Amino acid sequence: IRKLLIEKALHEKKYDKVEELALEGEQCDKKRAGLVQQWKGIRFQVYECNNLTDKMQSLAYELLIGYGLFEYYKKLKALYTAEEWQQMYLKVVDAASAKYISHGLYEDILIEEKDWPRLLDVVKKLPYMILNYYKYLLNDHPNEVYAVFILFILKEAENSDNRKEYKKICSHLRLLKKIGGKEAAKNTIDELSGKYNNRRAFLDELGKL
């Protein structure tokens, strides 16, 4: 019913009524994050229609950081001058890093801004994420990418004990070779072959490389 009333009020451009209904919805559904997010999105539309910059800034930030909605990143950025955004960007990435590192939002922001140093820090802390982000880092930081790949592969090897997992590790080594890390891959194969010389299935798969 609330949604129908909101649609009617929007059609009639009764924005105060829309805001009131949306705020009531947020209170009534405060234990249901999905619905609260929906009502907040409607409020943002109202503020856009009325060009209420301060309210849009506050709500876009809340939807971005509080609810992890990346679509509000560009909306938020557009509400600041280039000079103002420099400071706001630091606030946004700090908040996103604290809450969403490895969950996608933080990394999506870094990719949007081509903030490769911060993205490189992410994969150094969480080497398994190199598979998702190496393509963004390879041009500017090839050696660091190869080094993180090696760390990732060595860690995978520590926790592997069957042929299926060995094949997966070998697929990562093939990828490392493919993206230019041939020497790094060769050295890693030699290290793995020496360290796990009692794992016949692993040696067999490594031998196929």
Reference 142, options 178, 171, 169, 190; nearest CA is 178
Across the range 187-200, mean pLDDT stands at: 95
pLDDT tens, 61-90?
999 999 999 999 999 999 999 999 999 999
The pLDDT assigned to 164 comes to 96
Residues 71, 51: Cα–Cα separation, whole Å: 19
3 state DSSP class of 64: helix
The pLDDT assigned to 87 comes to 95
pLDDT tens, 151-185?
999 999 999 999 999 999 999 999 999 999 999 99
Is pLDDT above 90 for 205?
A: yes
Is pLDDT above 90 for 9?
A: no
- 145: Cβ–Cβ under 8 A, 6 or more apart, which residues? 123, 130, 134, 137, 138, 179, 181
pLDDT tens, 89-139?
999 999 999 999 989 999 999 999 999 999 999 999 999 999 999 999 999
Residues 165, 96: Cα–Cα separation, whole Å: 33
